[in-house]
Structure formats: C-alpha cells, structure tokens
Structure 1
Amino acid sequence: MKAYNTSVNYLKALGISLMVLGHTRVNPQVVAFIYMFHMPIFFIASGYCFKEKYLSAPQKYIYNKVKGIYWPYVKWSLLFLLLHNICFHLHFYSNQYGWKEHVSHLYAFSEFLSRATSIIFKMQGHEQLLGGYWFMNALFFGSLIIWPVIRYVKQPLCGGAILIVICTILNKTCWQIPFINISSQAFAAALLIYIGYSLAKYRVKTFNYWQIVLSLSITLIGSFVWNIAMGQNSYSNKRFIPYIITAVLASWSFYSLFDKMKSSQGICAKILDFIGKNTLTILTWHFLAFKLVSLLIIGIYGLPIERLAEFPVITEYSKQGWWIAYFIVAMVVTCGIAYFNK
C-alpha cells in the first residue's frame, strides 16, 4: 500500500484554492493561467495515488470509485435539486440572471424527475450551485477508463498514445458515447490520470528550481496561446497536446516545490494539509459561500436582489477588487463546514 503522500495533498490544496480563485473572475489572464493546470492537478494526483493491487481486484476498484466519487455526486446533486425551488424563491436562481445566458425557472415535478434521472444515470444535470461538479463526472469515468489501460497496456507510451488518439478523434467529431454521454473530457481526464500513475510508477525525479521556473514560464506563455478550459466536452486539437504537456509541467513543478517543503510542520503546512483533505467540501459549497459576498455587494451598491442569481459572482464588482472578499469568504466558510463536520 502506498504511504500517505503529503506533497500530493498539498498539491490538491493548491488546485482547489486556485479553482475558487478562478471562479471569482479575478482577471481574465490570471484565470487563463490558472485554468492551464488547476483541474489537471487533481487527475494527475489521482493517478499518482493509484494502487496496483486493484489491477487484480476490479470489483473492489469500481466499488471504491462508486463510493468515493459517484455517491457523493449523486447525494449532493439530488439534495441541491430538491432545494431548487426554495433557492429560486431566495433569489439564488432567477429567470433574469444566471451563468452567462443560462438562467433558471421554477421546476415542475416532471423536470425534477428528468433531472434526477440524469443525475443518477449520467452524472449530469446538477444545479448551478454545483457548477464545479463536472469534475466529478470526468474523474469517475476517467478512473474507469484508465483501469483496463493500466492493466493490459504494458508500455506507458503506448497507453498514452491510445488515449491521445481517442481524444483527438472525439475532439474532431464531437462524438459522445450514447446515453451516458461520455465525451473527450473523460478520456482527457483518463490521460492525465495515466500520466500521474506513470510519474509515480517510474519514480520520475522532481524538478529543480530552474526547471520549475522554466516549466511555469512555458505554462504562462501557453495561457496566451493554447489555453483550454477542461470543463468543456471537447477541445481544439491544435491546442490539446500542448495543453496536456504544460498542464503536466505545471503540476509537476508545484509537486516538486511541495516535495521540497514536505517536512515542514508550520501553520501554513497544516492549513494546506487540511484543505487538501477537504477538497470535496470546498468544491460543493464554495458557490453558495459566494452568495454571502454578492448579498453584501447588493446591499452596499443598492443593486436589485435578482442579481444574487449571477454565477458564480457579480463579475463587474469582483473585477473591482471584491474578488478578494469572494475568495476569503469562500475558503473560510467551506473550511469551517469541513472542520465542524469532522
């Protein structure tokens, strides 16, 4: 069994913190840089922690993924779905404001049933307050895809090439596996999981400081030239390969930094460790925590209460400096929830 890896936990803490920061709409170019690696971090971390004992125990592997990923997704998605109409009356949703052009409305029973079916059988259709839950879908199906690749493809370059070819074809055709709608996104997640697994299996050396600086510089350039948001179902093939390369370079750079400080026992290390152990709680509740700041902005500037339904934040004010409050409140509130639920 692999021992607990502090550096991986720190890496997850960085990823979830950057996710919250990116959702504050701090600055378009800052967001573009964050999106180059903040979600790939989690897929790579998942692969890095893959236990080879599951190669001979597929039923146990699937059970653990259902328990650890599928069930939390369904549980929280159904709860937020049941609360949709209440949230609508509380102005968390509205038919005027929402996520870009996606506004909301009161659900009839038939729509509750339709969305519940989609949540249970497709891991799709979750509420806007759970906007980051696309990641759960990608991680679950990516984890299932990667098992036979690791089990039956003995050469890592061949396994990676197979996944790249599949992603390229799906990107080109925008095709999805029927009914469950598995797209290029899940195979991209599988590719990153596979890379994380390979980094651990072959004990790839961590970067030195110059390699870290060079890798992050390349990633910064990439945020201008080949930026991608992994939340999409398919990607530009011209950008996909360089994106994957820089996502790995950036993720491994931060892992290398954390590996150099893994013996630290200070308050920052403890905070990072706590955040890294509670990423699901932060993912689940940070949009709702944002509403506290949006409500404050509405009160201060005399905005209509309907603007509380803007997702994920009231962008024009966030860009004026309120992103700091959004970030701090979301991290404090979600970590508080995690702490009191221990």
Structure 2
Amino acid sequence: MNKRIDWLDVGKGLGMLLVMLGHTDIPSPLRTYIYTFHMPFFFFLSGYLVKLKQFPNLKVFLFKRTKSLILPYLCFSLVAYLWFLLVFHFGLVDYHHNLLTPLIGSVVAIRKSIWTVHSGALWFVACLFCTELLFYLISKIGRTKKAIGFFLILLSVLGCFYNKLVGQPLPWSIDVAMISVGFYGAGFFYKEYQMKLERFINLKTFVLLITMNILTGYLNFVQTGERVDFYNSSLGNIVLFYLSAFSGIGAYVILIKRMKRNKSLQYIGKNSLVYLALHQKIVFFLFNIVIQNSLLDSEKIIEFPMIKGLLYTFIAVFLLVPAVFSITHYFPFMLGKTTRANKRRVLMNES
C-alpha cells in the first residue's frame, strides 16, 4: 500500500481551494494573482508523484492511466451531462445546439466550445492524461535526466509557439499539455533532487519567491493586458509567465512544507477530483439560483465580491462532503479505485 505524503495532500487541498475561489466572482486583481501559478502548481504536484518504474512499457502506462484518469474523466463527464440535461429541461441554461453535442463532446474534449459546455473544470483531467503521456514518451526517448530536461524545454517552447501563433484549443487540451509538461517535469526533478533543495525551505527564500511571483505576475498583466489562464489559452508575456509560475510554485511548496499539518486541507487534497468535478457547474450553479431567489440577494454583505467568493468556496467544501463519502465508499470506480470487495480479493491472493 502506498503511503500518502501529507504535505502533498495539503498542497492539493490548498490548490483546490484556490481553484474554487478563482471560479467565483472575486475581485479581478486577486483572481489574476491566483491564476499566475495555481494550474502550474497542480501539474507540478502531479509530476512529483510519478513513478516511472511502474510503467515498464506503453501498454502498462495506457492501462493504468485509463483506469486512474480517463475512466474518472468519462464518469464525471457523464454526471455533468445528466445535470446539464436537467437544468436545460427546466430552462435554466441558454443552449441552442443539438443536445447530443455535449455527450459526444466529452470524448472530443475541446475546451471552451459547445462540445464541453457542460463539463467545466474537467478539462484539467483530460489535459493531465495528455501531460502524463507526453512525459512518459519523453522519459522513454530521453532516458537520461539531461535528455529528459532538453525534451521538456523543447516541447514547452513548441507549446508556447503554438499558443502565440495559433491559440486554438486542441482535443484533450494537447496544446496546454505541451506547456504543462514542463511543470510536470519540474515536479519530477524536484523529487529527484529534493534532499539538495531542502536547505532552501526557509522564510528568506519564501519571501524572495513570493515577491518575485507577485511582481512578475503583475508586470505580465500590466504589460500585456492578459490574465494567465490555461483554459482560455492566455499566457501573456512568456518569460514573465514562467518566472511568475515557477516562483509561485516554489513559494507555495515552502509554505505547505513549513506549515502544520491541516486535516481539512488534507481531506480536500485527498478528494480533490470530486471537488474539481462538481463544484463549478453544479454547486456554484445552485448557489446562484438560491441567492437570486432569496432574501440573500438583497443582503449588503453578499454585495462584497470577496465575501461572496469565500462564502461560495467554503460552503461548497462542506456541501460536497456527502458526495465525497458516497463516491469513495459506493462508487470508487469513478475515482479509478478498486472496490472494497476486489481489494479484499487482492489482499487474500497476496497472502
């Protein structure tokens, strides 16, 4: 049984809170700041977890990642599609295309289009699969760490060129994967050289990195007028984008490794896929309806975007606890996990 890494779960939990908060109507400067690093941060953490030895060949890789990523993606996409049909039936969504388009679109997976109007943040799961596939192929072609590093940089450059010259979303967000694989690879290399880098886990380095993150992120937005947003194919100035993203990743790695273990953040981190899949198109959608049809809409406290954003985020955390419990206990296949019965059989066979 694999032992969970506490600080990694804390990081995923904190990252998921930032994702949910970023999907609310918070003040633009705060959203712009969050977007400078929060998606690269998730790819970095995913890269830290990869163990290349468990994938001796492409067949094994595709089998395991189909179970752990593609199956959950398709399951939650189906849930999102059924929800979409429900709200469409009650006239709560403005949609004028064939109702089968989103269903087929779950397989086509072109973000920011009529194909994925129902799925929201699930684009990340499809993109993560492509990112991991690219990294796996790079590791097989490169073999040495220097060669892997070279191909990571080369692919990132190609991804940035495509983003600037074309910018059209590709199926399964392959265009984003060419960029995100660099952050994924950085997570892999951080694990490889973690012992040597531990001496930088201190307050002085944190202050330096968070300052660099804020300044370069601010300069990127001011200079280009673009907010970094993978979903919308927006990076702004490439150099400033990478400086801000990597400094933000470094700062938050130091933060989560220095802070005390937080069971709430660890819980969210362990169940981040459920929160990612259900918070935006379902929970937040319901919040909007409730607020618009209640006295809360006239309350002055809700008029403050920051308070409203925090309210949405933290209520979503609590409301999704029953969903987390139900899915992990009764529908674990939706998370790419083995059922309890199958797990007992495996343990009996091993003994």
Mapped to 1, the partners of 2:51 and 2:149 lie a distance apart of 20
Percent sequence identity is: 22
Partner of 1:240: 238
Aligned-residue CA RMSD in angstroms? 2.7
Partner of 1:100: none
Partner of 2:321: 335
Report 1:25-40 matches (<5 A): 25-40=25-40
Mapped to 2, the partners of 1:65 and 1:187 lie a distance apart of 18
Letter in 1 for 2:327: N
Partner of 1:292: 286
Decide which of 205, 211, 220 is 1:211's aligned counterpart: 205
Partner of 1:322: 308
Decide which of 101, 106, 111 is 1:119's aligned counterpart: 106
Decide which of 164, 171, 176 is 1:172's aligned counterpart: 164
Mapped to 2, the partners of 1:22 and 1:185 lie a distance apart of 19
Deviation, structure 1 residue 277: 0.5
Q: TM-score w.r.t. structure 1 length?
A: 0.80
Partner of 1:74: 74
User: Are 1:159 and 2:151 matched, yes or no?
Assistant: yes
Please, which runs of 5 or more residues in structure 2 have no aligned partner?
221-226, 329-351
- TM-aligned CA distance change 1:302 to 1:6, over 3 Å: closer
2:110–2:116 CA contact under 8 A, matched in 1: no
Mapped to 1, the partners of 2:77 and 2:52 lie a distance apart of 31
Letter in 2 for 1:272: L
Partner of 2:133: 144
Letter in 2 for 1:52: L
Letter in 2 for 1:246: S
Q: Which moved more, 1:69-78 or 1:227-236?
A: 227-236
Q: CA offsets per residue over residues 128-161 of structure 1, 9 Å max, x none? A: 4531112112111111111121222221541332
Letter in 1 for 2:240: P
1:139–1:186 CA contact under 8 A, matched in 2: yes
Deviation, structure 1 residue 123: 6.3
Mapped to 2, the partners of 1:22 and 1:122 lie a distance apart of 22
Letter in 2 for 1:42: F
Mapped to 1, the partners of 2:124 and 2:58 lie a distance apart of 23
Which portions of structure 1, spanning 4 or more consecutive aligned residues, are displaced by more than 6 angstroms? Answer: 175-178
Mapped to 2, the partners of 1:121 and 1:130 lie a distance apart of 12
1:170–1:183 CA contact under 8 A, matched in 2: no
Q: CA offsets per residue over residues 223-263 of structure 1, 9 Å max, x none? A: 32224112123644xx223322322222222222222246x
User: Are 1:271 and 2:264 matched, yes or no?
Assistant: yes
2:6–2:266 CA contact under 8 A, matched in 1: yes
Letter in 1 for 2:276: L
Decide which of 179, 187, 199 is 2:178's aligned counterpart: 187
Query: How many residues were matched structurally?
Result: 309
Structure 2 SS opposite 1:25: coil
- TM-aligned CA distance change 1:7 to 1:176, over 3 Å: same
Mapped to 2, the partners of 1:214 and 1:198 lie a distance apart of 21
Mapped to 2, the partners of 1:122 and 1:336 lie a distance apart of 28
Structure 1 SS opposite 2:293: helix
2:105–2:116 CA contact under 8 A, matched in 1: no
Partner of 1:135: 124
1:16–1:282 CA contact under 8 A, matched in 2: yes
Mapped to 2, the partners of 1:83 and 1:273 lie a distance apart of 28
Mapped to 2, the partners of 1:281 and 1:182 lie a distance apart of 20
Deviation, structure 1 residue 122: 4.0
Partner of 1:45: 45
Mapped to 2, the partners of 1:271 and 1:185 lie a distance apart of 30
Mapped to 1, the partners of 2:287 and 2:310 lie a distance apart of 10
Deviation, structure 1 residue 196: 0.8
Please, which runs of 5 or more residues in structure 1 have no aligned partner?
95-103, 304-315
Q: Which moved more, 1:150-159 or 1:217-226?
A: 150-159
Deviation, structure 1 residue 83: 4.0
1:73–1:133 CA contact under 8 A, matched in 2: yes
Letter in 2 for 1:172: K
Letter in 2 for 1:199: Y
1:185–1:234 CA contact under 8 A, matched in 2: no
2:77–2:106 CA contact under 8 A, matched in 1: yes
- TM-aligned CA distance change 1:218 to 1:92, over 3 Å: farther
Mapped to 2, the partners of 1:207 and 1:85 lie a distance apart of 49
Mapped to 2, the partners of 1:18 and 1:132 lie a distance apart of 13
Deviation, structure 1 residue 296: 3.0
